[in-house]
Structure 1
Amino acid sequence: MKFGNNLRIKTATSWLPPGHETVEDAVTAGKLAASDVERLGLTQLPVSAQWSGPEMAVAAARDAISRAGWSPSKVGLVLHTWIYHQGHDMWSPPHYVANELGTPDALSYAVQQGCNGGAMALQVAAMHLAADPGLGAALITTGDRFLPPGFDRWACDYGLGFGDAGSAVLLHHGDAGPDDYALVSMATETAAELELMLRHGDDFSPTPLWHNEYIDLRRPKKSYMAVHGKERFSEIASRSIRKVIVDSVHDAGLRLDDPRIKYIALPRLGTGLLDGIYMPVLDEVLKAEALWFGAVTGHMGCGDFLANLADLRDQMPLEPGDFALVISGGAAWTWACAVVQVPEERIPEGDV
């Protein structure tokens, strides 16, 4: 999916709470096995003692609006995405984000696609803007808080730890002002058969947390692997990751070995998972340097993708004209890859 030259990411932000829990503290408390430390690659996880997921999303959104120098009234679309409890039952977090930000008339809705939600929401927003030239701008937010007793951030899944955070991106038709990136292209690939991984061995339940006192993703995955083997998932994942990279680069009008493609930002999974699933594909198809920003954040749920856009801007020496890829995946299962470019010049007023 190619977006052309005038769809711009005005800015991207992430918001982390001040509290954190170190790996050493988690091991000492019996929350994390010492044998798991190396394959996680983490030093700590951010922990929110006060703020809910939607509140952290609003904090990130306010930072984005401030950084852009915009009035909130410019935003006509608010998309919010998350994977865990948002603080209230039978409630609409996207409308909360819009109301708190001062955009109560903006079309507001949720995008649910597991941990790929941030990437998918960006693509949905891009399609809105492409179809509606009168839409001023879109705001995409994510926010999650992974607290017990319903969630064990260190042990609910294999090979990753979950960090509390919010993130935000502002997307718009380019104008004469500066932008972080041009959104050049995106590609997605779905393997819906893998939804079974997250429910294998369990009947459909009448209420949440019916099968376990906390969300335990290891149990159904272990059951699935016992029947289907690890190879099936690895084959599908590798093929899908390769396809979204190749397709997004092709749609951007680039070659895989184009020297202008400087980096690819990876999901904030544990380094063991990345080495086993992502890196073999990257070593085969791409010359760009792979980046992992997860050492002090862990996996931010839907927020990895948007936060990676912010960290690419702030931490890497990208120059005007340079390209970067951002890749994401979410159970169960869709993968996405975006190609962004640091704008070489602002769009002239007459071309907006």
Structure 2
Amino acid sequence: MKYHGLYVNGVGSWYPKPFPVDQAVSEGHYEAELQERTGMVSVAIAGEDDSQPEMAVRAGRQALGQSGLADEEFGLLLHATAGFNGLDGWNVGSYLQHHLIGGNGTAFEIRQLSNGAVGSIELAAGFLQGGTDRNAALITASDRFEAPVWDRWHMHPGLIFGDGASALVLSRRPGFAKLVSSVTVAHPELEGMQRGSLPFTPNSDPSQHPVRIIDRTKDFAARELPLSRVVELMDAALVRTATAACAEAGIRPTDAEHVIMPNFGVEMVKRENLDPLGIDLERTPWRWALEVGHVGATDQFGALDQLAHEGRLEPGQRVLMTGIGGGFNWTSVVLEIVDRPVPTPR
């Protein structure tokens, strides 16, 4: 979809202190051969006071501060997450609505796994273009991959899972970046890659902890679809969404000055994201990604915030941002930088 009159007014992120991967190897948490494959330098790991909701509040306040918009202008808050939100039987969206935008508008939790935040741009854009009298929407994302439910070091051999939060303000007010286009592609026949042949249970089953995504994927491949065919479908979906979003923006993926993908390890991001599009690693904030890890739905807004803090966003530049969520779904967004953002203090 091509957009007119929608802007990114603010972006923010909050990630806890990084834990060195060298130390993880020396302490026996991680294997040296995996570090060599991924290139991971460190990973953001939450402390005792870094709950998922509070990390989202910290990132959201940064994005709101940069936007300069009043609480009363917000009509929507979307919160993306891939895991647990701190409490069962509780509405994290309302908590963030209360603490970030003064209770204005309405709030929803988005569960599109790692594509939750980028995919929410389409939802927020539709809301803002649908006739509402409110000018702005806030998108937040936070995740924490804590034991015993998760083993951040071994959920996938191509990456390490980190903790943190990010946020983005989208509005009809002029901002530092113009939302040009977005395209989403889905392959729901691949949802079994995260399910395998496991039965549904009434509550979380401790016998399934830590969550073994790779085992489920192997089970799916053995019963349903060979991995070679899965790779073909996933590569084609990525190319389709990125190419289509760029075409609507009047460019090719290789024309984008900045390309933001999930925070995978070097080998994986090249093979699964960049090579199919013919994009060089240097166009991505890959060094930052290797210091933070893959933090669920937060990666893309966090990367955009990092580019802003490094002073690398210049007027006229285009940003191609792609989210990939289990299920499977891909969303690609093209932004055009219209003004150099002034980042808020972290």
Cα displacement (A) at 1:166: 0.9
User: Aligned pair 1:308/2:306, yes or no?
Assistant: no
Seen in structure 2, the aligned counterparts of structure 1 residues 213 and 131 have a Cα distance that, compared at 3 Å, is same
Asked if the contact 2:119–2:323 (Cα under 8 Å) also holds between the matched residues in 1, the reply is: no
Q: Distance in 1 between matches of 2:325 and 2:76?
A: 23
Q: Distance in 2 between matches of 1:32 and 1:256?
A: 35
Asked if the contact 1:308–1:326 (Cα under 8 Å) also holds between the matched residues in 2, the reply is: no
User: Aligned pair 1:194/2:190, yes or no?
Assistant: yes
User: Aligned pair 1:289/2:283, yes or no?
Assistant: yes
Match of 1:213 in 2: 209
Which structure 1 residue ranges, 4+ long, deviate > 4 Å from structure 2? 255-258
DSSP 3-state at the match of 1:127: helix
Seen in structure 2, the aligned counterparts of structure 1 residues 253 and 344 have a Cα distance that, compared at 3 Å, is farther
Q: What's the TM-score, normalizing by structure 1?
A: 0.90
Cα displacement (A) at 1:288: 9.2
User: Aligned pair 1:225/2:221, yes or no?
Assistant: yes
User: Aligned pair 1:337/2:332, yes or no?
Assistant: yes
Asked if the contact 2:12–2:61 (Cα under 8 Å) also holds between the matched residues in 1, the reply is: no
Q: Distance in 2 between matches of 1:217 and 1:158?
A: 11
Cα displacement (A) at 1:119: 0.7
Match of 2:44 in 1: 46
* Cα offsets for 1:275-334 (capped at 9, x unmatched): 2212221218x9993442311110010001211221232336332122121111011210
Percent identity between the two aligned chains = 28
Match of 1:253 in 2: 250
Match of 1:28 in 2: 26
Cα displacement (A) at 1:211: 4.6
Match of 1:161 in 2: 160
Taking the TM superposition and a 5 Å limit, the aligned residue runs for 1:49-64 are: 49=47, 50-64=49-63
Asked if the contact 2:186–2:330 (Cα under 8 Å) also holds between the matched residues in 1, the reply is: yes
Q: Distance in 2 between matches of 1:239 and 1:309?
A: 25
Q: Which runs of 5+ in 1 are unaligned?
A: 346-352
User: Aligned pair 1:326/2:321, yes or no?
Assistant: yes
Match of 1:240 in 2: 237
Seen in structure 2, the aligned counterparts of structure 1 residues 272 and 78 have a Cα distance that, compared at 3 Å, is same
Q: Distance in 1 between matches of 2:311 and 2:228?
A: 35
Asked if the contact 2:74–2:104 (Cα under 8 Å) also holds between the matched residues in 1, the reply is: no
Asked if the contact 1:183–1:339 (Cα under 8 Å) also holds between the matched residues in 2, the reply is: yes
Q: Distance in 2 between matches of 1:112 and 1:48?
A: 21
Q: CA RMSD in A?
A: 2.1
Cα displacement (A) at 1:338: 0.6
Seen in structure 2, the aligned counterparts of structure 1 residues 219 and 256 have a Cα distance that, compared at 3 Å, is closer
Seen in structure 2, the aligned counterparts of structure 1 residues 97 and 253 have a Cα distance that, compared at 3 Å, is same
Cα displacement (A) at 1:65: 1.6
Aligned residue-pair number: 337
Cα displacement (A) at 1:232: 1.4
Match of 1:349 in 2: none
Match of 2:199 in 1: 203
Match of 2:343 in 1: none
Asked if the contact 1:264–1:288 (Cα under 8 Å) also holds between the matched residues in 2, the reply is: no
Q: Distance in 1 between matches of 2:100 and 2:178?
A: 25
Match of 1:8 in 2: 7
Asked if the contact 1:262–1:288 (Cα under 8 Å) also holds between the matched residues in 2, the reply is: no
Q: Distance in 1 between matches of 2:210 and 2:245?
A: 37
Q: Distance in 1 between matches of 2:21 and 2:130?
A: 46
Match of 1:280 in 2: 275
